[in-house]
Amino acid sequence: MPSFFFWGGRYNSYYAYGQSKLANILHAKELTRRFKEEGVEITANALHPGSIITNILRYHGYINAVANMVGKYLLKNVQQGAATQCYVALHPQVKGISGEYFMDSNKATPTHLANDSELAKKLWEFSVSLTNQK
């Protein structure tokens, strides 16, 4: 397993989840760069739907129980969570916008690592090596 899924030498599911979200943003940025380089008019964006009531914590006993008890008051429902995806995919204001990060149906500023073009290229190359594609 790649070292970026580990924190302090041990696998950490929360850290791995965060890394996967960073990878989504980096992938969208690198895909956008490649589309522009090839003259392809396709957009690629990343987004954060927000904290949604799901079963993602089902294997984290106590945390899952607390999330289920208070989640309905603090977290988005599935429809609210889908709003940003629908906005980015369908809204005319987003037409032609690519390589961006959205949250709550607005452009947002991701972490500094998410804007690292060299890291995006390295992730792309690593992904290609895993899929054995040239």
Neighbouring residues of 6: CB distance < 8 A, sequence distance ≥ 6: 12, 15
Rounded to whole angstroms, the Cα distance separating 107 from 60 reads 32
E-state strands within the chain: 6-7, 10-11, 46-48, 101-103, 106-107
Choosing from 11, 15, 62, 73, which is the catalytic residue?
Answer: 11
Three-state DSSP class for residue 122? helix
101 is catalytic: no
Copy the structure tokens of residue 18: 């965060």
Rounded to whole angstroms, the Cα distance separating 52 from 82 reads 9
Catalytic residues: 11
